[in-house]
Amino acid sequence: MQKRVPITGDSTLCSTCMLGHVCLPVGMPAEDIDKLSTLVRERVRVEKGRTLYTLGDELDAVYGVRSGSIKTQIERAEGQLQITGFHLPGELVGMDGMLEGHHMSTAVALEDTEMCVIRLADLDRIASHVPALQPQFRRFMSKEIIRSQHMLLTVGSLRSEQRLAAFLLNLSQRLAMLGYSANEFVLRMSREDLGNYLGLTLETVSRLFSRFAREDMIRINQREVEILDMPRLKKLIGQDS
Amino acid sequence: MQKRVPITGDSTLCSTCMLGHVCLPVGMPAEDIDKLSTLVRERVRVEKGRTLYTLGDELDAVYGVRSGSIKTQIERAEGQLQITGFHLPGELVGMDGMLEGHHMSTAVALEDTEMCVIRLADLDRIASHVPALQPQFRRFMSKEIIRSQHMLLTVGSLRSEQRLAAFLLNLSQRLAMLGYSANEFVLRMSREDLGNYLGLTLETVSRLFSRFAREDMIRINQREVEILDMPRLKKLIGQDS
DNA sequence: CGTACATTTGACAGGAGTCAAGATCCGTGG
DNA sequence: CCACGGATCTTGACTCCTGTCAAATGTACG
């Protein structure tokens, strides 16, 4: 567990945060968003490779990615490890773990990352005079359910090339939402992480990248990706155009 | 969408329901549970094979299984279908779908089934004077996140025989929680459903059942299962004893 | 009692895993 | 600034698990 640092000044309220259009406040009425000023009172910096929280840690808050990126993973006693998500700015992590009050997963920074701390006590306190907040938070939990169910479909019923294509398209789209290029980006995770996430081996992922590049669908240089033929990638997973 | 029927009399409040030890009230203080009397005001009967709700239906409530069982599935445009869960009494369905206010999945009864209707409006109304209710509901959503992430691990990193063993053990355990036999039960779903759920084909599932039976780990006759060697099943997935 | 559906079983093929060897990149220290 | 060493990534050869296709058998329901 990393050290939480109080936010100084009010330069960084939810109401003025650049991520308002993707993060927790999205879609809420402006007057309600103004009332979220004490929702995030602390931040946590996590260096690349370090953990934000670990399986079993006590949980009194969930976290929003402010900058950087995070992977979350679950483990089984036998050492099996499954990466459950790569999280970009505006996305919340830690919502599993609310069942027991202990984290059910581990969150590791893929690069130097800053997280907003959303204490559950603050959430309920503020919700008592901002009625829209509870439904809004449920929406975010619902989104997390949908996300993992969608991954289940991906891993359970798509072939390897389709899984990788789906991953690239999903990442591209999320980066575009954040104002980054949809066609050119840097993967923050290793081939091994990616393989684990998609239910493949790192060799298969590597081979697929090479093949996609050979077929001029992408250009790839280590972790730099350029998507050259978005329509064909989409066609690969059955989406038209 | 099936017809909702008001509950008559108060013979079936949450506070007196037999499923209280597994359903939404579990762990809440008795005085709070007493205040849930108007949380479930309607029920829905769903015949075997019929849908409780369908992808795209408007959502104003989530549902708890009162008796019977339900499968939930998501779909992709291309016709791919992924079963995301088989739900027993006391379990909630429909919590995906709170994101958009429309169901993101379809729920189909595996046998004649009765569901409790939990309207979201009622949830928030009651929560305003039962502070423990919102955290409790979040716990159930959290549980759903954990469940689907665990399935992701199962499908993403276990071999076919391990997946089926994990399924049998999980079902056995949930049935035991409900007071049924942990060793003898009836599968309510087809081999095809089971295969789809586990990311396998129906033939593979059938072969595995036959093999487990040949190796005296289970006895199986169509959908009747008897677990003969629980320790060996557990060992198969790496759990000791 | 017959027909449609569900399940079992076999033969075969192919996609992804495993094992192994190189190539490339990157951080560290001289 | 450059050289070294470990980590990461690529590629090849081969294996095997699971999927596909097909046929037979069993079961349930009208």
Residues B67-100 pLDDT 10s: 999 999 999 877 789 999 999 999 999 999 998 8
d(CA A220, CA A206): 10
pLDDT tens-place string over residues A19-37: 999 999 999 999 999 999 8
| CB A210 under 7 Å to nucleic chain D | yes
- Residue B238 pLDDT level (bands cut at 50, 70, 90): confident
**pLDDT for residue A100:** 86
The two three-digit tokens of residue A89, written as one number: 């700015």
pLDDT, averaged across chain A: 93
Q: Establish if B241 belongs to a structural domain.
A: no
Do B165 and B51 lie in one domain? The reply is no
* Inter-chain CB proximity B152 and A97 less than 8 Å: no
What pairs with residue B219 in β-bridges? B226
The residue assigned the tokens 């791919």 is B80
B207 touches strand C (CB under 7 A): yes
What pLDDT score was predicted for residue A240?
A: 62
- The verdict on residue B221 lying in a domain is yes
> Do A192 and A107 lie in a common domain?
no
Specify whether A125 is located in the same domain as A232: no
- Per-position b or e across A36-52, b if 16+ CB within 10 A of its CB: beebbebbbbbeeeebb
The band of B2, judged by pLDDT with boundaries at 50, 70 and 90, is: confident
- Residue to mutate among B55, B71, B93, B99, with most A CBs inside 10 A, is B99
Between these two residues, B241 and B175, which has the higher pLDDT value?
Answer: B175
Specify which residues A87 forms β-bridges with. Answer: A70
Kindly determine whether residue B95 and residue A141, on different chains, have CB atoms separated by under 8 Å.
Answer: yes
**Contact flag, residue A212 CB and nucleic strand D, below 7 A:** no
- Same domain assignment for residues A52 and A138: yes
Say yes or no: A49 and A22 in one domain: yes
pLDDT category at B240 given cuts 50, 70, 90 is: low
Same domain, B23 and B131: yes
Determine phi and psi for B24, rounding to 5 degrees. -50, -40
CA B220/CA B207 separation, integer angstroms: 12
At residue B238, what are phi and psi to the nearest 5 degrees? 90, 0
Report the pLDDT value the prediction gives residue A89, as an integer from 0 to 100.
97
Closest residue by Cα to residue A86 from A118, A112, A109:
A109
Q: State both tokens at A21.
A: 């259009």
Q: Is the pLDDT score of B163 beyond 80?
A: yes
* A38: nearest Cα among A93, A118, A115, A114: A118
Q: Which residues of B touch A98 (CB under 8 A)?
A: 135, 138-139, 141-142
Which of A93, A118, A147 is the C-terminal boundary of a domain?
Answer: A147
Chain B residues with CB inside 8 Å of A74's CB? 149-150, 153
The verdict on B49 and B97 lying in the same domain is yes
Rounded mean pLDDT of B14-38?
Answer: 93
Confidence of residue B137 (pLDDT cuts 50, 70, 90): very high
Asked if the structure places residue A46 within a domain, the reply is yes
- Measured from the Cβ of residue B120, the count of other Cβ atoms closer than 10 Å reads 18
* Cα distance between residue B206 and residue B122, in whole Å: 45
Whether A241 maps to a domain, the answer reads no
User: Is residue A184 one of the residues assigned to a domain?
Assistant: yes
In this complex, the residue of A97, A134, A145 whose CB is nearest that of residue B96 is: A145
Q: Which of B85, B119, B146 is the last residue of a domain?
A: B146
Q: Are residues A91 and A174 in the same domain?
A: no
pLDDT at B241 over 60: no
Cβ–Cβ below 8 Å for A142 and B80: no
Q: Are residues A173 and A192 in the same domain?
A: yes
Residue A12 has pLDDT above 90, yes or no: no
Is residue B152 one of the residues assigned to a domain? no
Cα distance between residue A35 and residue A131, in whole Å = 11
pLDDT at position A5 is 85
Do both A132 and A66 map to the same domain? Answer: yes
What whole-number percentage of chain A has pLDDT above 90?
86
Which CATH number belongs to the domain containing residue A91 in this structure? 2.60.120.10
Element housing B84 (H / E): strand B81-87
Exposure b/e, B17-54, CB count within 10 A at least 16 = b: bebbebbbbeebeeebbebbeebbebbbbbeeeebbbe
End-to-end CA distance of chain A: 45
Cβ pair B115, B44 in contact under 8 A: yes
CB-based contacts of A16-19 (< 8 A; 24+ apart in sequence): A17/A66, A19/A64, A19/A66, A19/A89, A19/A90, A19/A178
Q: Between the CA of B106 and the C1' of C4, what is the distance in angstroms?
A: 26
Residues B182 and B172: beta-carbon distance below 8 Å: yes
* pLDDT digits 0-9 by tens, A146-166: 999 999 999 999 999 999 999
Write down the pLDDT at residue B9.
63
Same-domain pairing of B137 and B173: no
pLDDT at B1: 62
Q: Is residue A152 part of a domain?
A: no
> Domain holding B184: CATH number?
1.10.10.10
Give residue B162's pLDDT: 97
Is A87 strand, coil or helix?
strand
For B154, nearest residue in chain A (alpha carbons): A82
Interface of A with B in 9-68 (CB under 8 A): none
Give the mean pLDDT of B30-49: 93
- Judge if A139 and A79 occupy the same domain: yes
Question: What total of structural domains would you count in chain A?
Answer: 2
- Beta carbons of A76 and B156 less than 8 Å apart: no
Chain A positions touching B95 (Cβ under 8 A) are 141-142, 145
Sorted by sequence, the CB contacts under 8 Å of residue B112 that are 6+ apart come out as: B45, B46, B47, B48, B68
Q: In sequence order, which residues have a C-beta less than 8 Å from that of residue B79 and are 6 or more positions away?
A: none
Per-residue 3-state assignment (H helix, E strand, C coil) for A148-199: HHHHHHHHHHCCHHHHHHHHHHHHHHHHHHCCCCCCEEECCCCHHHHHHHHC
Q: Which residues in chain B, range 126-165, keep a C-beta under 7 Å from any nucleic strand D atom?
A: 159-161
Domain extent, residue A71, equals 4-147
**How far apart are the C-alpha atoms of B29 and A140, rounded to whole Å?**
27
From B146, B178, B212, give the residue that closes a domain: B146
Is B153 within a domain? no
